[in-house]
Amino acid sequence: MAESVPTLTSIISEVAEVAGFLWQRGWAERNAGNISVCLKDVPKSDFPAHYQRVDIPLPEIAGDVAGMSFFITATNHRMRDLAHKPMENALIIRITEDGAAYNIISHIGPTELRPTSELASHLAIHSLIIRRGTSHRVVMHTHAKELIALTQIKDLCNEERLNKLLWGMHPETKLLVPDGVGFVPYIIPGTTALGEETVRALENHNVALWEKHGVFAIGPNPHETFDLIDILTRSASIYFLCRSAGIEPEGLTDGQIEELGKIKF
């Protein structure tokens, strides 16, 4: 059976629902966090016939996503508001054919909206997804406090040790996030350098953890992308529950983790 083509309405509805999850988890304080969805599979009839044809320059040429459209959260807007009024707190943009700028296709609200300040990172990651040829179309950034707390521990600011801990706290973490997380040392938010390092971290992972800042994840739809972050934070929570009880968690052995890696889930 052929996979159903998502509609623009269904995508916006799902993003709004997940935005509520992020707020409820305490991962989206004030205007923290951002989500973007590539709309390349959405029928053209779903888009408005007329839109703002003003080119807004991009800091870098986004050639891999030239001509594509995205539903993306707006800068300085809150996830808790997005959950209730998505089109007043997000917008649809289209990258120009030369990849040098974007046009605003649609938004509703009393003021002009602009995409998240992490737009450069989002477009760089969507470009990576296009080059990888996967079915992923969602990029999600949030401040998952449990994962951020891990990066406050110097010894865990290391990709190998970080993944061993996360996989070791619960077997399903290895089953559901078999490639683990990529680690990105601290870089000033909103910069091209951060986007470049995030792309590097996501070349072999679907989740990148930014030191002392937050997490980026990619997935086929908003719910499954959220699930990746949710699963990883469970492992982090188990670790901190043990530590708060005065126990150094034993974790799964290397052999047990390797055994889980052989299971096709």
Residues involved in catalysis? 118
Chain centroid to Cα 60, Å, comes to 20
Spatial CA neighbour of 202 closest among 264, 117, 127? 127
Residue pair 59/192 in contact by the 8 Å Cβ criterion: yes
The radius of gyration of the chain from alpha carbons, rounded to an integer in Å, stands at 19
Spatial CA neighbour of 40 closest among 148, 114, 137? 137
Residue pair 123/138 in contact by the 8 Å Cβ criterion: no
Beta strands 34-38 and 138-142 are antiparallel
List phi, psi (to 5°) of 209: -105, 120
